[in-house]
A and B are shown apart, each in its own frame.
Chain A
Amino acid sequence: GAGVSQTPSNKVTEKGKYVELRCDPISGHTALYWYRQSLGQGPEFLIYFQGTGAADDSGLPNDRFFAVRPEGSVSTLKIQRTERGDSAVYLCASSLLRHNNEQFFGPGTRLTVL
Chain B
Amino acid sequence: QQQVKQSPQSLIVQKGGISIINCAYENTAFDYFPWYQQFPGKGPALLIAIRPDVSEKKEGRFTISFNKSAKQFSLHIMDSQPGDSATYFCAASRVRDDKIIFGKGTRLHILP
Looking at chain A's contact residues, is the secondary structure mostly helix, strand, loop, or mixed?
Answer: loop
Using C-beta atoms within 8 Å of the partner chain, give the interface range for chain A.
20 to 34
Within 8 A of B (CB), among A54-97: 55-56, 58-59, 91, 93
Interface pair A42/B96, CB less than 8 Å apart: no
Interface pair A99/B96, CB less than 8 Å apart: yes
Q: Contact check: which of A31, A50, A103, A107 meets B46 at CB < 8 Å?
A: A103
B54 is an interface residue with CB less than 8 A from chain A: no
Interface pair B100/A107, CB less than 8 Å apart: no
Bound Cα distance from A102 to B97, whole angstroms? 12
Interface pair A56/B91, CB less than 8 Å apart: no
Q: Contact check: which of A41, A56, A99, A107 meets B42 at CB < 8 Å?
A: A107
Cβ contacts A38-49/B at 8 Å (1 or 0 each)? 001111110010
Number of A-B contacts (CB under 8 A): 62
Chain A residues closer than 8 Å to B49, beta-carbon distance: 101-102
Cβ contacts A11-45/B at 8 Å (1 or 0 each)? 00000000000000000000101000000111111
Q: Contact check: which of A43, A48, A91 meets B98 at CB < 8 Å?
A: A48
Interface pair B44/A31, CB less than 8 Å apart: no
Cβ contacts A95-114/B at 8 Å (1 or 0 each)? 00011011111111000000
Given contacts A42-B91, A102-B46, 15 further A-B contacts (CB under 8 A): A41-B105, A42-B6, A42-B102, A42-B103, A42-B104, A43-B89, A56-B99, A59-B99, A99-B95, A101-B34, A101-B93, A103-B100, A105-B43, A107-B41, A108-B43
